Amino acid sequence: MGALIAFSRIVDATTTAIGKSVSWLLLAAVLISAGNAVLRKALDMSSNAWLEVQWYLFGTVFMLASAYALLKNEHVRIDILSSTWSKKTRDTIDLILHILFLLPFASLMTWLAWPWFWRSFFSGEVSSNAGGLIIWPAKLAVLLGFALLLLQAISEIIKRFAVLTGKMDDPREDTAGEMPPAASEV
pLDDT at 20 over 90: yes
Give residue limits of the domains in the chain. Answer: 2-74+82-173
Q: Are 127 and 41 in contact (CB under 8 A)?
A: no
Give the whole-number percent of the chain exceeding pLDDT 90. Answer: 60
Q: DSSP letter string over 11-37?
A: HHHHHHHHHHHHHHHHHHHHHHHHHHH
pLDDT at 48 over 50: yes
Give the whole-number percent of the chain exceeding pLDDT 70. Answer: 92
Q: Are 15 and 67 in contact (CB under 8 A)?
A: yes
Q: What per-residue confidence (pLDDT) applies to 49?
A: 84
DSSP 102: I
Rounded Cα–Cα distance for residues 22 and 25 (Å): 5
Helices (H), 72-169: 79-82, 87-97, 103-123, 136-164
pLDDT at 185 over 60: no
pLDDT band at residue 63, thresholds of 50, 70 and 90?
A: very high
Q: Express each pLDDT in 123-161 by its tens digit.
A: 999 988 887 799 999 999 999 999 999 999 999 999 999
pLDDT band at residue 65, thresholds of 50, 70 and 90?
A: very high
